[in-house]
Structure 1
Amino acid sequence: MKEILKHNKLIVVVILVMTVFFAIQLPKVEIDNDIEVFLPDDHISKVTTEEIEDIFGENDGIVTAVRFKEGSIFDYHNISRIENITHDLENIKEVDEVTSLTNVDFIEGTAEGMLVENLVTELPRTDREKYQIKENILSWDFYRNNLYSDDFQSTQILITLNEGLSTEEENAAYYKVEEITEEYNARDLESYISGATAINVRMGDSMLEDIKYLIPFIVLVLILTLYIFFRKILPVILIMLNVSISSIWAVGLMAYLGVNLTLVSTVIPVLLIAVGSAYGIHILSHYYDYLAEYDGEIDQEKQEELVLKTVKQLGKPVFLAALTTAVGFGSLASSEIIPIRTFGIFTAIGISTAFIISLFLIPSLLILIFSYQKDTSKLDYQKIDYFESTILKLHKFYSNKRISIIITALIIVIVSIIGLPRIVIDTPLIEMFRENSQIRQADDFINQNFAGTTIMNVMIEGEDTGSLNHPQILKPMADMQNYMSSSFKEVGKMSSIADYIKRMNQVMHYPEEEIVEEETDSQEVDDGASFYNQSEEEDNDTGSFYQENNEADTGSFYEEENSSEADTGSFYEAETEPEEETPAREIIPGPDREQNLSEYEFMMLINRALARADRLDISADEMVRLLNQEMNYQAANYYEIPVDLEKYGAEREENLQNLISQYLLLYSGSLDDMINDDLEPDKAQILVQLNDPSTIVAGEVRETILNYADNNFPDGYETTVSGNAVMAQAANDLIVSSQTRSILISFIVVFLIVSYSFKSLIAGIYGIIPLAFALLINFALMGYTGIKLDVGTAMVASIAIGIGVDYTIHFLHSYHKERLKSDDLFLVTQNTLTSTGKAIIFNAISVAAGFMVLLFSNFYPLVYLGLLITVTMFSSSMAALTILPLMLNIFKPKFIQK
């Protein structure tokens, strides 16, 4: 070491050049917080999500909700603003498609057949026009909770971005959307923006804000703390130089290697500034103690000698402390969660850098600075003894309270173990933001008023071309949607091709008199004609009490007007002529507008409709739906997947499959996000919207969907569930395995390093006991306070082990040195505490103070990380200064006496 430090100027120059090189790389750092970055590329949920997106396109984009405080979304003034906002958003070059109330497709039935046109063809200027639009959209619940809220005061505008956009282009698109919506904000209009892209952009902005404010804050805190301890400027400058260089090297290397910055890795500079100071503190603390203890004039030669003595005495413990700390962080490299793995690797690199600079740059600068220093009076080198009186009182207290301390420690362990099962493992990205943040408030508003912003994709895949046209799979798909919506309040909506088929089947069975009425827009409707007769069919559930004629009107789009026999031609005709004549289909007519009901018949109608309900606590709109079915108003009884051969006059299932194919052929809109082929699909997608971002909920929903498909879908169909919600849930599952693995690796490596250092396996056990004690307290605190185990708090254990092991190693080495000098254990412990103990206390205070800065972060995971590390620093340092010496004095292990 002496030969190396002779080249002190070269050491300074080399480190300076490397620092400049890495500093130049810093502007190249890019931010990426997409949920995909949390998972390895070969993870099944990530692979399947990419496959589904390749087939059906991306569903997660930008969601804009608009709320009007005056009037409804159907009022002319309000709907015109929706149209204007839609047009402005469509002009953004990064935007592929915009879906809103004013441009969405609507399927309607006419005399000529099915008509697909915009829901809003002209802006409504009269009440009648407004109510017509409202009636149309209410006739098909496909758009409920997406394009309108239940109070009709809010609407959503769904924005899909072009595929393959870079992070910068996505950010630009979001800012343009924000700019456009803000232009329309007024006294009576509020806009809210959320969705996956919005969350990612806002997270990046908040990360930069954290870096901008937290790093200067922690630097200021550390400078004040160091100055209070050393009461000198030089050690403060040297330590700050140390941590600054290590941070620049770590982050600069990330930029150089093209590793993106994530929420987790923003902690690296803060951590290195807080933790990296430890090595400089230990070296400079002992250096100034040696200066104070030296009796005589200090010249250049003597000063170099003291520097070398400091390095020689502390080289091994500082090296072991740095090694175990680096290993503690490096153990995170075993995590399958990419941001945590990146954090572990580059933090370990930063810690190693901090050690190298402490061991080479600080001594070199001490020698160089002293050579230019004129005043070398001993007054500058008073011994640092701020904590000695406190330490001596602490030592005196617990040396006389051994049994009490042991009992207290056992109680803490028991209480901590009881609290472990209370830990909740959940990683919703949106809940990482504070409640008062703009994005959090926007997401909460959308989840409360609409179907939800958390997306899950379900892909149904058949074996053959056209297998997703078959009613045998479409019916179970529709049933699953109903089952999931009724089973989970968190399922805001499920949408699929089944919704379109049911609607098309309904409009193609509109009774003739209703189609005629639809065409006569200019005629006034008699408000008194509310309830009508319906034909009663003996074998059909839709039969009714108010039938005047026993003959049903069989007129429909299937038959020629003057035909005497049912023509099964275009939709149902088989390849060969059937042996027996197919029975004519009896089409259920709609209500007769000329028929009036008695009070008795009216009450019977209400009761029959209620009998259709699955439960009694139904809403008004559910009651209307049941009445529509009872009366077959607008063919409500045909809002279904056609599966009943007799009802549809089909000879076999192939006829119904042909019918569905004809529906798809007639549909003129795009179904690319629902099926992979407009005519003969073999893959279909069900879009699941969750109004709760919890990954726990996502896991339960996913499991239920897969179980339902296994039990109810026919053979030959495969179900895959993926999407952002599933990837978040997968990352959530990886946290537990990653946490367990990193803790295990950390403990094993610490055990091996301490055992090797003292040539004793028993020493390794002594080395991990204080750490285990501190970790139990950490996890118990999480369990009892409800702090979730997420991507932020999952790092606490490894950080605690990495930092806390320093205290144990420094104490063991100092205790061992004093133990070799004396057999008086009281004196040995006291000398250890007054020398190394004060450095441990100060280091714990400085690290805790540094991490407490994270309490002001924009993100809850970092807030809790700062809180837990602060608590862990206190518990691990106290365990090293109380439990460890107590065990050494009681059991008197042989390794400490050698």
Structure 2
Amino acid sequence: MEKSDEKFLDKFFKHPWPVVIVIGLLTVFFALQLPRAQLDNNNYRFVPSNDEARKVSTYIDDTFGSSSFVLVGLERKYGTVFDGEFINLIRKYIEQIEDIEIVGDINSIVSSDYIAGVGDSIVVEKLVPDDFSGTPGEIAQLKERILSWDMYKKSLISDDFTATQVLVPLEIDADDAGRPEVIDSFIRIRDIAREMFDGQAIVYVTGLPVISATINEAVRADLVLMVPLVILVVLLILFFSFRRLTPVILPLLTVLVAVIWSMGAMPLFDIKLSVISTVLPVILVAVGSAYGIHVVTHYIEDMSIKTGLNKDEHRELVVALLRKIGKAVFLAALTTFVGFSSFCFTSVLPIREFGYFSSFGVLASFIVAVTLIPSLLLIRGPKAIRNLSGNKKQADSSGSADSQDALSGLMADVFMAIARKRRFVIFITAVVALISVYGVSKVVIDNIFVEYFRSTTDISRSDRFIREKFGGSKIVSIVAQADSPEILLRPESLGAMDSLNAYLEQRVPEVGKVMGFTDLVKRINQVFNVDESPDGIKAQAPSSAGGDSFGFGFGGEEAGAADDFGFGDFGFDSPETETAAALRTDLSAEDLIALLEKAASSGDNRSLSGDELIRKLEKLLNYRGMSYYEIPTDPERYGKTSSEELQRLVANYLVLLSGNISSYSNDPLEPTAIKTTVQLRALGEADTNRAIGEINQFVKNEFPEDIKITVGGSALVEASLNRLVVQSQLSSVIISLLLVFLIIAISNHSVAAGIIGIAPLTISILINFAVMGFLGIKLNIGTSMVASVSVGIGIDYTIHYIEAYKREYRATGGTGDFLRRTFTTSGKAILINAVSVGAGFAVLILSQFNMLRDLGLLIALTMGTSALVSLTVIPVLLLFFKPKFIGVKL
């Protein structure tokens, strides 16, 4: 340092109390902000609003209504859902939760509407009547109604009849799923279900708002557990390393102040905590202690040599200490700051916010370490630091710290032996690098929100239940758009959409359930053709009778009850026409076999299930209109002469559906956009991408050119997040390595210094990704931070070793035991810091989040590899290349 800097330090620390008071007041100020902290883990917040998948999802929600659902699954432990008492309990449950302010129209087995065709009329009534008492006859009728339409299948009831689903829509924007009032609403929905169905059914609750709420609960639990635990771990490590009270307390005090400052700054700037923020206190406690450790370690060494100091001499010792290690500590803090600042350039908002406040925390840790610790040491005075047994640490007659620390000497001997094996070290390093490159190729990139949690948690079990019993919890929305209703409602347009739906459900294994606008059209078509021949409708002359040209009428007052045609709000039965639609009873054995063979041959393959065979028979015989459960595309089959007549037929159907069908159509009578909802059983991005690829390929090959298809939904937002995570990983690593290279190169006036400085970091990063690849640890929003965090922290070891090497080299001219003295003075501090930081991060193993557990393990690993590479590879590189910057005093 220059003399002006020395004078500044001497004046600055001449009066240490003001420093302590100012830092204390700032700490109190930030601490007062902590009660205002809020949590928001809505997954949509992770993706920027200008992202294409996010914009498409917003458009779909704005056009067809919110896609934010709480899915409540109810599984009967004994028996089926067709139980009168259980069904009435569901009714009571819905009556309670529908009063919650943001809850929309609930879809369930008891709240859905039921449409029946009676002659030429349509009658709408409740699927479960208000006077339902649960008699065997009523149960049988309900079961028959539910089974009459495949749209109910895996949406309201499971295939084995043991489970049902209550879909609770929340009238909110996707961006608001993490708001406190939304979380409170979910908690009420969940708690009421658990209380009401206790002993009657197992309750499973999932959905995006549920995941947000569960993450919030887990974040609180993690903060309560892990912050005290990481403090305890660092405390124990410092205690066993120094066995003195002062060097234990002072570094810990430094990081506690930094944690309060950084966490208090978040609510001050109205930044909400996320799952990533959970790591912030752990990182600052683990990382920030390094600066205090180095200050205290060198202070103990200097005090052990010089005894009997007066107050002024003691202040000169402290100032000289800061001059000696100030550059190394500053560079270590600066490079850590740069490593964390690299996150500020990512598009993933929680990671960017983490970058802002972790950088601020590192800066605070450095400032407090080089101001508060020296001030407290000066206030304490030139007293000898005693160990816990009360004995002073005495220096020997040579004044060498080497002889006073057997552990430091042992470490120096081990690393000296390694440094002598230069060729072997270079060979092993090359082998490790090559193996790591192969491991990197096996890394899987995926960011599955439900996989944040352990498989035994309620949210994981609930999501697994919905995937196994119903269609799945991951949503893809397919929107067909046209310039006019006439184009969109053409038979070929609707036929293409329906063919896509059938293809996805029958041929794409990742798809669990498909339902949409065409299902509604097909259902109405079925209802009004119950009495027709399965071979087609004969052309008829126009009638002057009442009704319209299509012969449709309305079923009196009950017809007006069709006020909600949302998801799952349809059913069909027609007792009045059941006799006409019944199967023939005069079939001979030969006729029956022929009929069965014809039904079997009409399938896509010979392996028809019993249910599929029954459906084929129903179509052959037009049982309850099943031959007409289709989009009308053939004019001759419907007694028409042109596609335009079929289009008008469909338009007339929409009059009958002119209730609330906004979840599938942007206009009840003249739609220019219609929607199909695809539920995926898939978890990972690879499965999701396969399903999306199948959709896009089908659209390319089968859809008319004047129909625009837009694919969006939560599944694509997740896929977009995966892409952003990869971009964030690449950009943050490159930026952090580049900036660290520049800092080391500029501070040493040597490009060689920059190259040597980032060499161990590059090796550590390669090892990190190799371990991820070999162990199957996915690259996600949490583990994507490992590399840059490792750069920010691991560079400390490199800088401290290079500075110690330069200091000892210049002191001896590169002769004698300078290398051993380098290991003696720096080796212990580096290893203590690596163990302290690694153990601090290892606390994350106890997190409720899988990704934070992996993050803790990986950072603990990289701390070890960074420290070992710094103490093995760097000495070999410096001895082998003998760069000029080592011997040149700047």
Instruction: Note whether the superposition's TM-score is higher than 0.5.
Output: yes
The residue identity in structure 1 corresponding to 2:147 is L
Distance 2:775 2:816 in 1: 39
Deviations 1:598-641 (A, max 9, x none): 11111111110000110222222111111111111112111111
Alignment partner, residue 350 of structure 1: 361
Closer, same or farther in 2 for the Cα pair 1:508/1:237, shift >3 Å? Answer: same
Alignment partner, residue 323 of structure 2: 312
Q: Indicate whether 1:5 and 2:13 are aligned.
A: yes
Match of 1:896 among 876, 886, 889: 886
Q: Indicate whether 1:448 and 2:468 are aligned.
A: yes
Distance 2:748 2:877 in 1: 16
Give the drift of 1:569: 5.8
Match of 2:147 among 128, 134, 138: 138
Deviations 1:760-815 (A, max 9, x none): 11111101111011111100000000000000000000010000111111111110
Alignment partner, residue 115 of structure 1: 123
- Which runs of structure 2 are paired with 1:376-455 in the superposition (5 Å)? 379=392, 385=405, 387-455=407-475
8 Å Cα contact 2:583/2:621 also seen in 1: no
Alignment partner, residue 126 of structure 1: 135
- Which runs of structure 2 are paired with 1:856-895 in the superposition (5 Å)? 856-895=846-885
Distance 1:243 1:655 in 2: 77
Distance 2:394 2:526 in 1: 92
Deviations 1:85-121 (A, max 9, x none): 2222212233122111011122321114222322222
Match of 1:365 among 361, 376, 381: 376
Indicate the larger mover: 503-512 or 86-95: 86-95
Match of 2:81 among 73, 83, 86: 73
Give the drift of 1:692: 2.4
Closer, same or farther in 2 for the Cα pair 1:108/1:811, shift >3 Å? Answer: same
Indicate the larger mover: 456-465 or 134-143: 456-465
| SS state at 1:451 partner | coil
Match of 1:837 among 804, 827, 832: 827
Indicate the larger mover: 482-491 or 424-433: 482-491
Distance 2:324 2:692 in 1: 59
8 Å Cα contact 1:819/1:825 also seen in 2: yes
Match of 1:94 among 99, 102, 120: 102
Closer, same or farther in 2 for the Cα pair 1:454/1:238, shift >3 Å? Answer: same
Closer, same or farther in 2 for the Cα pair 1:374/1:239, shift >3 Å? Answer: closer
Deviations 1:578-598 (A, max 9, x none): xxxxxxxxxxx9766554111
Give the drift of 1:171: 1.3
8 Å Cα contact 1:98/1:157 also seen in 2: yes
| SS state at 1:647 partner | helix
Alignment partner, residue 171 of structure 2: 162
Alignment partner, residue 564 of structure 2: none
8 Å Cα contact 1:459/1:685 also seen in 2: yes
Alignment partner, residue 579 of structure 1: none
Distance 2:197 2:134 in 1: 23
| SS state at 2:277 partner | coil
Deviations 1:645-668 (A, max 9, x none): 111122322221221121111125
8 Å Cα contact 1:268/1:347 also seen in 2: yes
Distance 1:734 1:487 in 2: 31
The residue identity in structure 2 corresponding to 1:435 is S
8 Å Cα contact 1:458/1:687 also seen in 2: yes
8 Å Cα contact 2:534/2:620 also seen in 1: no
Deviations 1:655-702 (A, max 9, x none): 212211211111254211111111111111211211223233223322
Q: Indicate whether 1:685 and 2:694 are aligned.
A: no
Q: Indicate whether 1:42 and 2:84 are aligned.
A: no
| SS state at 2:110 partner | coil
The residue identity in structure 2 corresponding to 1:709 is V
8 Å Cα contact 1:106/1:118 also seen in 2: yes
Alignment partner, residue 526 of structure 1: none
8 Å Cα contact 1:590/1:631 also seen in 2: no
Closer, same or farther in 2 for the Cα pair 1:355/1:281, shift >3 Å? Answer: same
Distance 2:648 2:513 in 1: 29
The residue identity in structure 2 corresponding to 1:597 is L
Give the drift of 1:60: 2.3
Give the drift of 1:331: 0.7
8 Å Cα contact 2:411/2:823 also seen in 1: yes
Q: Indicate whether 1:283 and 2:295 are aligned.
A: yes
Alignment partner, residue 658 of structure 1: 648
Give the drift of 1:216: 0.4
Deviations 1:724-757 (A, max 9, x none): 2111110101111111111111111111111111
**TM-score using structure 1 length:** 0.90
Matched residues, number: 843
| SS state at 2:92 partner | helix
8 Å Cα contact 1:590/1:632 also seen in 2: no
Closer, same or farther in 2 for the Cα pair 1:766/1:374, shift >3 Å? Answer: closer
8 Å Cα contact 2:314/2:382 also seen in 1: no
Deviations 1:530-557 (A, max 9, x none): xxxxx685xx6xxxxxxxxxxx9x599x
Consecutive unaligned residues of structure 1, counting only runs of 5 or more, are 513-534, 541-551, 572-588
Give the drift of 1:411: 1.4
Distance 1:405 1:786 in 2: 29
Alignment partner, residue 713 of structure 2: 723
Distance 1:457 1:65 in 2: 22
Give the drift of 1:78: 2.0
Distance 1:36 1:751 in 2: 35
Distance 2:271 2:523 in 1: 49
Closer, same or farther in 2 for the Cα pair 1:370/1:504, shift >3 Å? Answer: same
Distance 2:493 2:500 in 1: 11
Give the drift of 1:167: 1.1
Distance 1:844 1:375 in 2: 25
Closer, same or farther in 2 for the Cα pair 1:155/1:34, shift >3 Å? Answer: same
The residue identity in structure 2 corresponding to 1:154 is A
- Which runs of structure 2 are paired with 1:624-773 in the superposition (5 Å)? 624-667=614-657, 669-773=659-763
8 Å Cα contact 1:510/1:634 also seen in 2: yes
Deviations 1:300-341 (A, max 9, x none): 112111111111111111111111111011111111111111
Distance 2:181 2:773 in 1: 41
Deviations 1:18-77 (A, max 9, x none): 111111111111111111111112111112211211111112221100111222212212
Distance 2:394 2:383 in 1: 17
Distance 1:172 1:393 in 2: 61
The residue identity in structure 1 corresponding to 2:590 is Y
Q: Indicate whether 1:193 and 2:181 are aligned.
A: no
8 Å Cα contact 1:68/1:78 also seen in 2: no
8 Å Cα contact 1:79/1:123 also seen in 2: no
8 Å Cα contact 1:300/1:370 also seen in 2: yes
The residue identity in structure 2 corresponding to 1:861 is M
Give the drift of 1:509: 0.5
Closer, same or farther in 2 for the Cα pair 1:595/1:445, shift >3 Å? Answer: closer
- Which runs of structure 2 are paired with 1:317-328 in the superposition (5 Å)? 317-328=328-339
Closer, same or farther in 2 for the Cα pair 1:374/1:225, shift >3 Å? Answer: closer
Q: Indicate whether 1:21 and 2:29 are aligned.
A: yes
Indicate the larger mover: 716-725 or 670-679: 716-725
Deviations 1:480-510 (A, max 9, x none): 1111223332211121110000011011101
Closer, same or farther in 2 for the Cα pair 1:259/1:374, shift >3 Å? Answer: closer
8 Å Cα contact 2:582/2:623 also seen in 1: no
**TM-score using structure 2 length:** 0.91
8 Å Cα contact 1:215/1:269 also seen in 2: yes
Alignment partner, residue 302 of structure 1: 313
Distance 1:386 1:488 in 2: 67
Closer, same or farther in 2 for the Cα pair 1:227/1:593, shift >3 Å? Answer: closer
Q: Indicate whether 1:243 and 2:263 are aligned.
A: no
Closer, same or farther in 2 for the Cα pair 1:826/1:602, shift >3 Å? Answer: farther
Closer, same or farther in 2 for the Cα pair 1:825/1:701, shift >3 Å? Answer: farther
